Structure 1
């Protein structure tokens, strides 16, 4: 088994873990983000980066991924885990991969939000609406904590869009 295959497989497994965790918990823990970033750095160290990125390109992708989504976090539109995940993802795919991944993930997240709004108002499939909403928290808990609930698992959609980008990129 080659190191290149191992790096790419590790990347895909990491994306799977992020997607599943974010869909289930609506958060991405630091240990998961740091694990993916460590794997990306290890791939760079052994010169087996799956997308042929240089150190500079990888760090530029990480900085732009983190920095751009940090704006959405500051505005209260995104969770910190999503921002940190975007930084780690940028370390893997670099700046050229981030743009199509962001566009696809944003379209998926937008569809998620629209579907949730439709199902919330038209309760034909209440269990689907609840699943889209994520873990429920009592309104009193939200009001007392001052925490704004984020129900769109953006990191999961980034992970899904990345997997699609990998497959689509191999076709060309």
Structure 2
């Protein structure tokens, strides 16, 4: 999750190799009976399917990147559907705050380029000129999914 957060915050993308590694380790943990959150195969597969499927709809209408979708599916393998729902809510609130701050900073008169660079860097913007058809990724949603999952691991599982 740390690598996903760093990649997504810095480059606004999540590499396929990282998502596949996370999914493979989740499947191995399930197969070996070493799943750290005590969920079963059916719960893990349901979480993966719902995580991937729900965000796939957002990707289809252009509201989300493909890496976010794939990461949500891999995350569902780890935590299952029951935990995935509150994680989504927290991640969506964080992403909403990010978006609101980005919109406010567009009108900020003090160092607007610096503030927008910190909040709105996209992989295309950091690698040079963006192609005319490239959609700018402003919100690192997979990073916020990672942060929300870390919070769930610390506070959400108690009780």
Q: TM-score scaled by structure 1? A: 0.86
How far apart in 1 are the matches of 2:144 and 2:60?
A: 20
1:86 and 2:72 correspond: yes
Tell me the CA shift for residue 52 of structure 1.
0.7
Any stretches of 5+ residues in structure 1 without a counterpart? 1-14
Please say if residues 61 and 93 of structure 1, whose CA atoms lie closer than 8 Å, have aligned partners that are also in contact.
yes
Q: CA RMSD in A?
A: 1.7
Please say if residues 142 and 149 of structure 1, whose CA atoms lie closer than 8 Å, have aligned partners that are also in contact.
no
**Counterpart position of 1:141:** 130
Tell me the CA shift for residue 129 of structure 1.
2.1
**Counterpart position of 1:74:** 60
**Counterpart position of 2:51:** 65
> Could you say if the C-alpha distance between residues 33 and 138 of structure 1 is closer, same or farther in structure 2, counting changes exceeding 3 Å?
closer
How far apart in 1 are the matches of 2:85 and 2:76?
A: 10
How far apart in 2 are the matches of 1:131 and 1:35?
A: 28
Please say if residues 44 and 55 of structure 1, whose CA atoms lie closer than 8 Å, have aligned partners that are also in contact.
yes
Equivalent of residue 164 in structure 1, options 144, 148, 151: 151
1:129 and 2:120 correspond: no
How far apart in 2 are the matches of 1:134 and 1:107?
A: 20
**Counterpart position of 1:16:** 2
